[in-house]
Every structure is written in structure tokens, then in C-alpha cells.
Chain A
Amino acid sequence: MKLYYFLSALVLALLASACGDDGDAEGTIVVTAYGEEFVEEGLTTDDGWDVQFDRFDVSFGGVSIADAIVTAATTVDVAVPSAGQGHEIGRVTVPTGTYDDARFTITRVAIEGRAQKDGVEKRFALAFDDAVSYSLCETSTRVRKGAEARFEITIHADHLFFDSRASAEPNLLFQALADADADDDDVITEDELEAAGLGAYDPGSDGADIDNLWDYLERLITEIGHADGEAHCVATRIVD
């Protein structure tokens, strides 16, 4: 009999805990943007190009969590080393509880960098202006009384080099981008990428209309926003 009461109490306690609120108690959520080591330290693609980012500016149009606005608009260069901590973009004081309502909008991504292989260096400076709203992220943020919790907007920059939008394990490639440098001046431009075919790249089930590398990159850039590392969010392109 005691066991039944114990189990019942345990279940009810779990329920109460999950619901989260602790009266008028409050805590803080610190929101950061982190580009991972791919951006901060560079990466080596599967086809042997060493890629370094000099700049990886992510412009946020608005970030909110726990029904509170963290920041209206800000731009963060996630290429600046952060020792794995990311860059704080705002903080809010909210009632204790567990929150899964984080939303953020990325309005622009501007990148500048270089890739090297076998003594060849290709430079790039590209800007992507498609605004994308991220919501329903598959993560939650637990706020305890008087404590700091973190919500991280994680930028998956390595996705820019995926050779497939459909594969669970795409290759990380740069050669096609290097080959797009049609005038061979070692600078890869938007126009050159627009003129370059996709070759063996797989733009995905919804990619029938993607037939050049610029359009492909534009689509990839709308999928770089994640939360707390690997958590996915629903990404919705905002059409003007």
C-alpha cells in the first residue's frame, strides 16, 4: 500500500516539477550565438581544402524566449573566437520554469574568407539576404531561481559546404566552389556561382528549382540556424 502512495506522490511530484513555475521566483536566460569551431578555427573539407573565415556576420532581426524579447536586432560576427562560449546577444529575467518557445530571425548572413589547397588560394566575400524565422526548436531552457540558464543559437557554418541537402551524412566539399571561379582571379563571386551548374550536388526533394551553385548556397544558408548545438528548429523563409 505504501508503495502505491509513494509511486503516486512521485508521479505527481514529477508533474509539478515539469510544469516548472515556482511562485514569484525568477532567473535569467542568457542568449548566445555560437558558430562552433568550424567558424572560429576553420575547417578542412573532405576534398582537402582548408577554409578560414575572416568574418561571419549573422544579423538577427529579433530574438525572444519565455515570452520576452531578448533583442530587437543585432549583428554578431561568430568568426571571432569565443573559447567555445559563443557571443552573448542579450539576457532576460523571467519567472522560473522550463521554456520551449524560443524564436529568432536571421535577416542576413555576410561571410568573408579563404580556402587553400596545394598552394592555391580562393577568396570569397558573399552576402545572403533571405530572412529566415526559426521557431519550435527541439530544445528547452530550464530557469531556476536566481540562476543563469543559457539558450544558444548555434550557427552550423559547415552546412555551407554540404554536397547534399538530403543526405544524413553529406560530404563537406569546396572544389565545386573553387571551380566556379571562371575568370581564375582567385576570387569567387556571386555572379560566378550563379553561372556554375550543380553537377553531382543533390539539392534535395524540394530542390527542383535549384540549378546553380548560388541558389544552392542561398538555400543552404537558410538552414544554418540551430539551437543548443544540434537541436533543429522549424525554419521559415520570410518572403518580402
Chain B
Amino acid sequence: MRTALPLACALFLWSAFAGCEGAAEPSRVTLPLRADASGLSPAESDLGYAVEITEAKLSVADFTFATPGELHTRWLRLTSVARAHPGHYEGGSVIGELRGRFVVDFMASEGTLGTATMLVGTYASANFRFETAEDDAAPPLAGHTALLRGRASRDDASVTFTFVVDAPAMRELVGAPFEATLTETSGGALGFRLLSYDPRSDATLFDGIDFFALDADEAGEIIVDPTSEGAASEAYFELRRRLLAHDFYDVRHLPEE
């Protein structure tokens, strides 16, 4: 007893000094994460094109979910905190995750990616990493990051489009909105959305892209990919910049119906 007491006191003080890292592990809840097409409504771009997306696929990996506030590296047995550089401090502490590689088909009716493990708490943001789809993915996505197909119309004329986009290697997307408070009894699912329109900035995914100008042969079909040149290359990077921005994604908690 005489020997145990001082050590217990010291360990108690040490624990307190270390920020109570040894405290009981927080409660957690598991929720399926699924693709959610509700963000891909037709939208009018800044150049007046009515853009309808008919196919949207994205190769991603390793979702993490974070609390509000600045990034801190406290906790976690569940996951570690990745740190963007130089895009510093775009989220709080990571307290939820879904690891693995996924090809997200936003228009598919059944798009469950996996089961996310989430600590009970208040969330503010979601993060993930862009990937390159494996060669066994359906072309033209195979070997690339994103595929967007659809139709752009203006003044009674229209073109169909196919954009194939590559993200830089190991490119993380940090800070997609995910505003939710999860409890031990939270049910339903998490919905991962690509947004054709960002209401916060009043911008659309295809702003700045002059579809008709890209249809040089007036065939009514344009294909833009990483090998495109000239105006098509500019359009490619214009779209890529938005596809790599957190403005055009969010995650929602979808309670049980």
C-alpha cells in the first residue's frame, strides 16, 4: 500500500498532464456510406449552358470525418490525423473513418461503399483521397480518377460531353462539409454527394466551360481528357480545379426512413 500510493498519485498526475489520454474510449456508431445522386441536379452555368449530368464516377479512398475547429493531433486509436501541407488546418480532429478504395458511381441506385466507423459527436467536415481507378474498371474511367458524362444545352442547341479527369498523385480533398451530430442510436446512412451547384459560392461545376466552342467539328459530341490540347486543355483544367475543390462535395447524414 505504501509503495502503491505514490506511484498511483504520480500516474494520476501524469495522466492529467497528458490530457487524460487514458480516459475511457468514446462510444461509437457504424453507418453505411453510400453514393448520393441528389446533388447532381441540372444546373445552369455562368456561360448560360443548361448542364445535365448523366454519368458521374469517381475513384477515391480513405474517407475520414472530423469535428469542427482547428486540426489537432490528439487521440486516436481509430485513425491517425493526416495533415495537408500547405493547405493548413482545414478541419478539426478526425473521429470517424471508412478506409479502402472505392469507385463511386453517383448515379447508381445502390451505391453503398462500406460501413464507416464513427465516434459519437458533432461533425463538421469530411476528407478523402483521390485515386486512380484500377485497370479492371470500366473504360474510360480505368486508369483515371473521374468520369463525367452529360449534355449541355443553350439556345435550342446541345452537345453531349465526356470529361475524363486525372487527379494529382495522392491528392487529398480536405474539408467537404459534413454537418451532423451522431449519437449511439443514430441510424440510417451517410450520403456522399458530388454537387453540380455550390450554393455557398453560387458556382457550378462547369462554370467557364464553353461547350459549343469545344465542339470544333460540330459533331455534337465533345470528349475532353488529360491529353486534350488548346482550348480543350484549358477546359480540362477548369473542370479539374473544381473537381478537386471541397465546394463541390458534401456528406449528409440520412436518417432512417
Do A and B make up one complex? yes
Name A's B-contacting residues (CB within 8 A): 1, 4-5, 7-8, 11-12, 15, 18, 136, 159, 162, 164-168, 197-200, 202-211, 220, 223, 232, 234-235
26 A-B contacts (beta carbon < 8 Å): A4-B3, A4-B6, A4-B7, A5-B3, A8-B10, A18-B17, A159-B86, A165-B86, A166-B84, A168-B85, A168-B170, A197-B234, A202-B241, A204-B244, A205-B84, A205-B87, A205-B172, A205-B245, A206-B87, A206-B175, A207-B245, A208-B245, A209-B201, A232-B83, A232-B85, A232-B88
Name B's A-contacting residues (CB within 8 A): 2-4, 6-7, 9-11, 13-14, 17, 70, 83-90, 168, 170-175, 198, 201, 203, 208, 234, 237-238, 241-242, 244-248
Q: Which of B13, B88, B234, B238 contacts A15 (CB 8 A)?
A: B13
Do A11 and B87 touch across chains, with their CB atoms under 8 A apart? no
- A33 CB → nearest B CB, Å: 19
Q: Which of A166, A200, A210, A234 contacts B172 (CB 8 A)?
A: A166
Do A15 and B17 touch across chains, with their CB atoms under 8 A apart? yes
Do A12 and B10 touch across chains, with their CB atoms under 8 A apart? yes
Which residues of chain B are within 8 angstroms of A211 by Cβ–Cβ distance?
208, 238, 241
Q: Which of A15, A166, A205 contacts B14 (CB 8 A)?
A: A15
Do A167 and B168 touch across chains, with their CB atoms under 8 A apart? yes
Q: A4-B4, A207-B241 are in contact. Are A166 and B168 (CB under 8 A)?
A: yes
Is chain B's binding surface mostly helix, strand, loop or mixed? Answer: mixed
Q: Which of A8, A165, A197 contacts B87 (CB 8 A)?
A: A165
**Cα of A1 to Cα of B248 in the assembled complex, Å:** 62
- B115 CB → nearest A CB, Å: 25
Can you name 16 extra interface pairs (CB under 8 A) apart from A11-B10, A200-B237, A205-B174? A4-B3, A5-B6, A12-B13, A15-B14, A136-B70, A166-B87, A166-B171, A197-B234, A199-B234, A202-B168, A204-B84, A206-B245, A206-B246, A208-B241, A208-B245, A223-B86
Q: Which residue of A lies closest to B72 (CB)?
A: A136
Do B237 and A198 touch across chains, with their CB atoms under 8 A apart? yes
Is chain A's binding surface mostly helix, strand, loop or mixed? Answer: loop
Q: Which of B3, B241, B247 contacts A198 (CB 8 A)?
A: B241
**Cα of A210 to Cα of B238 in the assembled complex, Å:** 10
Do B242 and A223 touch across chains, with their CB atoms under 8 A apart? no
- A218 CB → nearest B CB, Å: 14
**Cα of A1 to Cα of B11 in the assembled complex, Å:** 16
Closest 3 CB pairs of A and B: A208-B245, A8-B6, A8-B10
Which residues of chain B are within 8 angstroms of A136 by Cβ–Cβ distance?
70
Which residues of chain A are within 8 angstroms of B13 by Cβ–Cβ distance?
11-12, 15
Which residues of chain A are within 8 angstroms of B175 by Cβ–Cβ distance?
205-206
